[in-house]
Chain A
Amino acid sequence: MAEQLERIANLLALLLQTTRPLTLEQISDELAGQYSAEATTRRAQFERDKRVLRDEGIPIETTVLVGEHAGATGYRVDRARFELADLALTDEEKRALQLAAATVRLDPTAAGRALTKLATDDTDPGPLLAALPQAAALAPLCAANAAHHEVGFTYRGKERRLQPWGVVMRQGFWYVVGHDVGAGEQRVYRVDRIESAVDVDAGHTFEVPDGFDAMAAVTVDPKVLGEGEPAEALVLIDAVLAGKVRREVGDGAVVEARPGGAVVVRVPCTNRAAFRSWVIGLLDHAEVLAPDEVRADLVGWLEAVAAP
């Protein structure tokens, strides 16, 4: 494989230096002996090399030539399209970036490569203070958001098309919020629950509404997310967990304080699965009082697990 790498490095050097687009024949002449003399093999080798370069973010531009080689395809690489623009970072700012990446961990390999490209020096990192959840879909969603390109992905087994207006992390989870083209309304999706690769569609662009606040648009409580009618349940919480739950749902949600410290709270259950997960986390310190249908749903779920 060293041969192919050497050939690609030379190809890149050549296409970077040339002032006019070169035909494959000219390229082959310049890189004497590195491409096959046989036309079909040579074309296949060149297409393979082009693909490697494109996959690494170096697109080869093609133009149909006029004049001497009229009609032939010419190739060159535009330096400006793949080289890192100078961010004009001061040494102090580079150090701050280095420190931030050492303090917060998301995708250390990628962040490390980014820092190398930005020519930061290794400094003594401080202690790691925060780890954030990783999700493969995060990078393409952010890129699509910046470029205002529509995206497509599979979520809960359904194909979705979304204009990604914003990406946020709240309470330890990544969300993408935007206009769902299929549903014709604003939707929020958990990024880690996206089941497919994110397809970025540069052919469809969009505008984000003025003043749109992605953080405000992402509802924190998964129990209220969902596609059904908003609904609420009454849950009795034992004294041992009353304090914890009270802080979580807020004093306004407490509808009854019983002697001995137990409380009854009103909580959203629009998303039945999220509600069930929340109540189950409290084990036998909580009991759904109403509505009957929600209580029956939970009992049915538990009975399925309890069945021998």
Chain B
Amino acid sequence: MSAARRGPESVGVRLQRLLLVLPWLMERGSTPVSEVAERFGLTDDQVVRDITLASLCGLPPYVDEMLDVVVDEGMVWVGVPRIFTRPLALTAREGTALLVAVRAALALPGADPAGPLARAADKLAAALGRPALDVELDRPPMLGAVEQAVRDHERLAVTYYSASRDALTARTIEPLAVFADRGNWYVTADDDRSGQERHFRVDRLHECRPTGEHFTPRPVDPVIERGWFADGPSTEVVLWVTGEGRWVVETYPVVSVEADGDGLRVRLPVASERWLARLLLRLGPRARVLEPATLAGVGREAAVLVLTRYRAGAATSE
């Protein structure tokens, strides 16, 4: 869960947390303060402060209903639960977040359409009023072969279109794991060409041939974090975009966004000049590069390059 907060918190946030923590504690009886803190992303002090407050709740003539909560020697003790026993109903945001995760998990390969997850999904959807909510995770044609190779620890000979180099390359990869990020599937693999771990977009594999050679797999860390890119290491670029170019912020991982005049100042990681060139051409007159100065001309150069082709007149193919 989220890390411990800094600075003053609103009453609403603390109330919500209290009503989340109390029913949880009541399920468990006595719990170390440190465990409560870790579970809810709090400091020990915050836990003690909130629990102490809860222990003061309940008033005459409802003395019987007083909350029996004690913090002592690093443990939280909860006695007979009377009030605040049930958690609050799921908010729209909580319910949607969980239902979407469940629907997507059911769309993943190997999901059992009649298993416990499907049954839980049905109960959850019913509690949320059965929203018409569907998640499609498209599977590119090569994905099955790649997954098979991950399971079998088998090297694959592939032809890959690298968007950052804008070229087709042949390589042999040792596929370690597959994952999906924002609608695209990737395979994490050791790559003989670069000698490094890389993430390849599965829909950009032109050819994919099992080699019959096997390798010893190594564990890999999940890589889906904001800021990673499929095509290798990245540098940071600062763009100024108008309101109409705001989609950049919604479409790509960005480091920071600030209002700047009648537009936005956006800092984002850029994997290659080719990638940046494409982005700048799409944005057109709605953006310019502020930093680094060395990349300020990338959009213009790319536009000139593409225009050269149009100005050559009759369409020719290479």
Contact = CB atoms under 8 A, between A and B. Distances in A.
Contacts of B277: 283
A37 interface: no
B307 A247 contact: no
Interface stretch (A66-74, A96-104, A180-188, A224-232): A96-104
B96 A142 contact: yes
Given A84-B90, A89-B123, A104-B104, A111 B98 contact: yes
Given A9-B53, A165-B132, A305-B285, A104 B105 contact: yes
B213 interface: no
B114 to A, nearest CB: 12
Nearest to B226: A131
A106 B97 contact: yes
Contact of A283 (B60, B136, B305): B305
Interface string B282-318: 1011000000000000011011111111100001011
B153 interface: no
B131 A104 contact: no
Give the secondary structure class of A's interface: helix
Interface in A109-160: 109-117, 119, 122, 127-133, 135, 138-140, 142-143, 145-147
Interface residues of B, number: 113
A258 B281 CA distance: 28
A215 B134 contact: yes
Nearest to A17: B62
A283 B97 contact: no
Nearest to A16: B83
B168 interface: yes
A301 B101 contact: no
B86 A84 contact: yes
A129 B11 contact: no
Given A6-B53, A244-B204, A82 B284 contact: no
In this complex, the member of B24, B96, B97, B120 whose beta carbon has the largest number of chain A beta carbons within 10 angstroms is B97
Contacts of B203: 247
A10 B58 contact: yes
B93 interface: yes
A5 B15 contact: yes
B210 to A, nearest CB: 20
Given A139-B93, A281-B282, A132 B116 contact: no
A53 B11 CA distance: 10
B135 interface: yes
A24 interface: no
A304 B300 CA distance: 9
A142 B92 contact: yes
B56 interface: yes
Contacts of A170: 136, 138, 183
Given A17-B62, A132-B101, 7 more contacts: A17-B83, A84-B86, A99-B105, A101-B102, A114-B97, A236-B315, A241-B161
Interface of A: 1-2, 4-6, 8-10, 12-14, 16-17, 30-32, 52-53, 55-58, 79, 82-85, 87-90, 92-97, 99-101, 103-117, 119, 122, 127-133, 135, 138-140, 142-143, 145-147, 165-173, 192-193, 208, 212, 214-215, 236, 238-241, 243-244, 247, 258, 260, 262, 276-277, 280-281, 283-285, 287, 289, 295, 298-299, 301-308
6 contacts: A82-B89, A83-B88, A139-B93, A166-B132, A215-B136, A303-B307
Q: Can you list the 5 inter-chain pairs with the closest CB atoms, starting with the nearest?
A: A172-B183, A146-B129, A262-B317, A100-B105, A93-B120
